[in-house]
């Protein structure tokens, strides 16, 4: 048994849930279309280029949570998951998850996208453990802030180390699956790093480091690489 960790966006799902949530808010006229859509696209490009200012992005992305009642937010989220997430769930991702479950591994998703957006998505895959950026919730309302460390780049390593201190798990024979070079700090910490449909920077690094490169979208590419 080992710890099998998965990134979420563009790894277990075929798009970025953070970006899609922003687009959903625009489509539903919940936010100002022109200003929000432009900023959402800019932040997404910064993320892909490894230049995202995570604190600036969180101020932007969590602000809408503070402007509406939680009951309404949850209704919108349910619609979002139904309309935007269900179509981009990946069967090969489910198969990979089931292979790890069959081995008796402990499964975890660790994602920079905030917990409000990602928690119901992770449940769709039947994964019990989630580490994500946590929106602040005070007196029954979201504040627009966050608590703890942003779950991004080195922050993923920090949050995982904190979690390990309170669990019976360790990183011996551990796995981490990710598409993004932003996850290199954590990929370098596990024993079995796997690049999944990787961006160009991660793919180059994986090939140089002799890490497995797999696809959960292309049926002609291997979908798992378990060591004997």
Q: How many C-beta neighbours within 10 Å does residue 152 have?
A: 22
* 131 and 109 Cβ atoms separated by less than 8 Å: yes
Candidate list 7, 16, 105, 183, residue with the active-site label? 7
d(CA 144, CA 27): 21
Does the annotation mark 7 as catalytic? Answer: yes
Distance of CA 61 to the CA centre of its chain: 15
C-alpha to C-alpha distances, 174 to 10, 89, 93, 106, 220, nearest whole angstrom: 21, 24, 18, 10, 26
d(CA 68, CA 74): 10
Encoded tokens for 193: 């790093």
- Active-site residues: which are they? 7, 9
């Amino acid at each position: 048994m080992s710890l099998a960790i998965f990134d979420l966006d563009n790894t277990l799902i075929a798009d970025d849930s953070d970006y899609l949530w922003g687009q959903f808010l625009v489509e539903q006229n919940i936010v100002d279309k022109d200003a929000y859509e432009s900023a959402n696209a800019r932040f997404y490009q910064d993320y892909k280029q490894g230049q995202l200012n995570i604190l600036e992005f969180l101020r932007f992305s969590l602000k809408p949570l503070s402007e509406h009642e939680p009951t309404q937010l949850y209704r919108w989220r349910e619609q979002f998951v139904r309309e935007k997430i269900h179509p981009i769930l990946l069967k090969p991702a489910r198969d990979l998850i089931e292979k790890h479950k069959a081995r008796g591994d402990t499964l975890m998703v660790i994602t920079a996208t905030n917990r409000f957006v990602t928690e119901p998505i992770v449940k769709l895959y039947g994964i019990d453990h989630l580490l994500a950026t946590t929106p602040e919730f005070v007196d029954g309302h979201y504040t627009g802030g966050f608590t703890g460390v942003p779950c991004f780049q080195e922050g993923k390593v920090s949050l995982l180390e904190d979690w390990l201190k309170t669990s019976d798990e360790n990183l011996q024979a551990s796995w981490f699956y990710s598409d993004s070079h932003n996850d290199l700090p954590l990929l370098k910490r596990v024993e079995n790093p796997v690049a999944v449909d990787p961006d160009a920077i991660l793919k180059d690094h994986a090939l140089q480091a002799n890490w497995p490169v797999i696809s959960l979208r292309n049926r002609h590419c291997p979908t798992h690489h378990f060591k004997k």
